[in-house]
């Protein structure tokens, strides 16, 4: 438009100025047998993951990462050779987007809030967030467990799926924003509503819209108009109560709280009405 559409070249915001991993380990990492402590304060996204991978390959299985402020994909590159056992990563305090994306069996503990895309397309493992999390938590998760102490943002558990023994679980202590469980195709979502006042409904609208598999357990109240048209409301049966109790206890193990008190609350169960919500919209 201004005749200025000239060559500008390309600036790599992600891969530019990445320091060699050995240098980073020497400067910012204390490696002591199976334990490692990484100071990520001055590290870029890729640098943190370079270091994580390297210390894991050198045998660390309990890794603490300090001074994390928004670095992405923590845990994603830990695709380790078979002989390595899963590692435990403690993050202090604020990891960036796509925490534990594609995670393969490791455990991640966050002492702080997490952002968008926690456990995105995760395969297996466990993510425990001592705080809240942003949008699309546990998106397309196909295995493993995600525990969020407080609230989650939009579109949590969107398109979560299950297959045989792979049964993903998302447990949220607080409430969620809209489109919880959208397109959900399998797995278990639990929303405990612990930070809501008595009789205050959950904050999400369009819960379970397009849901065609899996189950959502909701503690607390929710109005009919908050639910997507593809879900039905049921009461819990004994098998449900057992599942709920299991994960509420797990939740309390991670974050404290009285499991029995929580279990006294009113739970409902949301199920898809059809495995084929869109089977009838076409003219053949």
**Which of residues 159 and 250 has its CB atom nearest to another protein in the complex?**
159
Beta-carbon contacts of 147 under 8 Å, excluding residues fewer than 6 positions away, are: 126, 127, 128, 129, 171, 250, 251, 254, 255
Which residues make beta-bridge pairs with 268?
218
The residue within the footprint of another protein, chosen from 152, 170, 207, 270 (CB under 8 A), is 152
Q: Minimal distance in Å, beta carbon 143 to another protein?
A: 8
Burial of 224 by CB count in 10 Å (0-12 exposed, 13-18 middle, 19+ buried)? Answer: exposed
State CA 218 to chain mean position distance.
Answer: 18
Interface region with another protein, contact rule CB under 8 A, candidates 32-40, 46-54, 236-244, 256-264: 46-54
Quick check: 39 binds another protein (CB under 8 A)? no
Quick check: 104 binds another protein (CB under 8 A)? yes
Burial of 122 by CB count in 10 Å (0-12 exposed, 13-18 middle, 19+ buried)? Answer: buried
Quick check: 155 binds another protein (CB under 8 A)? yes
Interface region with another protein, contact rule CB under 8 A, candidates 22-30, 31-39, 119-127, 239-247: 119-127
Q: Minimal distance in Å, beta carbon 232 to another protein?
A: 16
Considering only residues 228 through 267, tell me which ones interact with another protein, judged by CB under 8 A: none
Quick check: 10 binds another protein (CB under 8 A)? yes
Quick check: 203 binds another protein (CB under 8 A)? yes
Q: Minimal distance in Å, beta carbon 184 to another protein?
A: 10
Q: Minimal distance in Å, beta carbon 114 to another protein?
A: 9
Quick check: 225 binds another protein (CB under 8 A)? yes
Q: Using an 8 Å Cβ cutoff, are 98 and 75 in contact?
A: no
Q: Using an 8 Å Cβ cutoff, are 219 and 265 in contact?
A: yes
Taking each helix axis from N to C terminus, what angle separates 21-28 and 45-57, rounded to the nearest 10 degrees? 80
Q: Contacts with another protein: how many residues (CB under 8 A)?
A: 88
The residue within the footprint of another protein, chosen from 25, 136, 188, 207 (CB under 8 A), is 136
Give me the half-sphere count of Cα atoms (radius 13 Å) on the Cβ side of residue 155. 12
């Amino acid at each position: 438009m201004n005749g200025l559409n000239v060559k500008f070249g390309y600036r790599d915001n992600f891969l530019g100025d990445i320091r060699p991993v050995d240098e980073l380990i020497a400067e910012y990492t204390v490696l002591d047998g199976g334990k490692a402590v990484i100071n990520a304060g001055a590290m870029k996204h890729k640098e943190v993951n370079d270091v994580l991978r390297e210390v894991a390959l050198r045998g660390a299985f309990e890794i603490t990462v300090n001074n994390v402020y928004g670095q992405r994909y923590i845990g994603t590159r830990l695709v380790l050779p078979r002989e390595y056992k899963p590692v435990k990563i403690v993050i202090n305090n604020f990891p960036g987007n796509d925490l534990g994306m594609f995670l393969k069996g490791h455990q991640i503990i966050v002492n702080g809030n997490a952002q968008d895309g926690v456990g995105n397309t995760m395969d297996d493992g466990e993510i425990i967030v001592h705080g809240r999390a942003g949008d699309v938590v546990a998106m397309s998760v196909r295995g493993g467990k995600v525990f969020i102490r407080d609230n989650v943002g939009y579109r949590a558990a969107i398109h979560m799926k299950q297959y045989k023994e792979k049964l993903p679980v998302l447990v949220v202590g607080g409430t969620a924003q809209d489109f919880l469980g959208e397109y959900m195709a399998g797995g278990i979502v639990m929303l405990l509503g612990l930070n809501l006042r008595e009789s205050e409904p959950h904050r999400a609208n369009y819960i379970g819209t397009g849901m065609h598999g899996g189950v959502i357990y909701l503690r607390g109240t929710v109005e009919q108009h908050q639910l997507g048209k593809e879900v039905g409301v049921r009461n819990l049966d004994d098998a449900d109560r057992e599942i709920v109790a299991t994960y509420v206890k797990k939740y309390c193990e991670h974050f404290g709280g009285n499991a029995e008190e929580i279990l006294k609350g009113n739970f409902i169960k949301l199920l898809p009405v059809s495995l084929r919500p869109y089977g009838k919209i076409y003219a053949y």
